[in-house]
């Protein structure tokens, strides 16, 4: 088994700038309201999982057909 050690690994100045920018941008994008909404949504999903409720279907089939549609059907004529 090979053991990889990351000791002594340094970021270049460009990488440090990029990391600082990402951290700053992440904080500005996650407003307190958004953080609260995300936390509430995750809590609701977890509660549904514990109750054994199946997730809501976001996508559904409008119709099931076989074959290749014609151009007129595709354009809605």
The answer to whether position 44 is within a domain reads: yes
The answer to whether position 49 is within a domain reads: yes
The answer to whether position 76 is within a domain reads: no
Low-confidence ranges of the chain (pLDDT < 70): 1-8
The set of residues, in sequence order, having a beta carbon less than 8 Å from that of 32 and lying 6+ positions away, is: none
Look at residue 16 in the predicted model and tell me its pLDDT.
87
The answer to whether position 26 is within a domain reads: yes
Ramachandran category for residue 63: left, alpha or beta (phi over 0 → left; psi -120 to 50 → alpha)? beta
Q: How many domains does the chain have?
A: 1
Per-residue DSSP letter, 51? H
Look at residue 59 in the predicted model and tell me its pLDDT.
79
Look at residue 6 in the predicted model and tell me its pLDDT.
62
The answer to whether position 47 is within a domain reads: yes
The answer to whether position 31 is within a domain reads: yes
């Amino acid at each position: 088994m090979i053991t990889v050690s990351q000791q002594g690994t340094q970021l270049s100045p460009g990488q440090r700038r990029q990391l600082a920018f990402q951290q700053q941008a992440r904080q500005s994008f996650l407003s307190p309201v958004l953080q609260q909404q995300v936390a509430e949504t995750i809590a609701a999903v977890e509660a549904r999982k514990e109750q054994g409720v199946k997730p809501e279907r976001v996508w559904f089939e409008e119709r099931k057909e076989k074959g290749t549609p014609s151009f007129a059907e595709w354009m809605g004529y």
